């Protein structure tokens, strides 16, 4: 595909990255190429967004690591949001400075909302509840459970559930954002 030609229309059921919503036209990607490398989604840096889930899994063994794990995850969210806003600004600055600023703000807020919900808040809550329920189940077991198992099994259940919850949560947050924040034609408020 030629870089100057627009990308092919996207399937509406396909996952949309937050920076794709700037103009609220999912048939147009805001970057020059459809498959642009994004360090926050296409590299090992992506796993920083899951730090809080690991922290929640180890909450009962290492409680002092929970808060720092959230700091790392929110730092990842903020870095991705700022980068998304910068890309949106650079893409739209040839239109008008006002449009570029509006696109940058919308992209930054959208990415921050999406990442905060999909990478930190909802997964952290889910893992916390899974580990808590596992601890409860182990403590109420009718048979004697060795201390090592009762200590570590909830942690391993929490860690093992991380890959299982990611995609459903991402899809839920996509649905939520598509039917709320992304429905608003934000550029009309800035124009």
Structural element, H or E, at residue 156 = helix 147-178
Taking the C-alpha atoms of residue 138 and residue 23, their distance in angstroms, rounded to an integer, is: 50
- Rounded CA separation 47/131 (Å): 20
pTM: 0.77
**CA 93, CA 104: separation in Å to the nearest integer?**
10
pLDDT of residue 29: 43
pLDDT in tens, 158-184: 999 999 999 999 999 999 999 999 999
24: left (phi over 0), alpha (psi -120 to 50) or beta: left
Asked if residues 77 and 49 have their Cβ atoms less than 8 Å apart, the reply is: yes
pLDDT digits (tens, 9 = 90+) for 26-57: 444 444 444 678 888 788 888 898 899 999 99
**What pLDDT, in 10s, does the model give residues 108-147?**
999 999 999 999 999 999 999 999 999 999 999 888 889 8
What is the spatial distance between Cα 190 and Cα 163, in angstroms, rounded to a whole number? Answer: 40
Please say if the pLDDT value at position 24 is more than 60: no
């Amino acid at each position: 595909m030629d870089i100057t030609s627009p990308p092919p229309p996207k399937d509406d059921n396909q996952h949309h990255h937050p920076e794709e919503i700037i103009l609220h036209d999912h048939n147009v990607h805001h970057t020059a190429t459809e498959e642009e490398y994004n360090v926050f989604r296409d590299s090992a840096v992506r796993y920083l967004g899951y730090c809080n889930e690991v922290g929640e899994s180890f909450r009962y063994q290492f409680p002092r690591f929970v808060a720092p794990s959230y700091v790392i995850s929110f730092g990842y969210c903020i870095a991705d949001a700022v980068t998304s806003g910068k890309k949106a600004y650079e893409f739209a600055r040839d239109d008008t400075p006002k449009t570029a600023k509006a696109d940058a703000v919308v992209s930054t807020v959208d990415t921050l909302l999406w990442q905060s919900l999909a990478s930190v808040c909802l997964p952290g809550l889910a893992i916390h509840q899974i580990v808590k329920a596992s601890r409860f189940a182990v403590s109420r077991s009718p048979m004697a459970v060795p201390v090592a198992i009762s200590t570590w099994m909830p942690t391993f259940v929490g860690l093992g559930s991380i890959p299982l919850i990611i995609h459903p949560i991402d899809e839920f947050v996509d649905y939520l954002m598509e039917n709320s924040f992304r429905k608003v034609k934000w550029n009309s408020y800035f124009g």
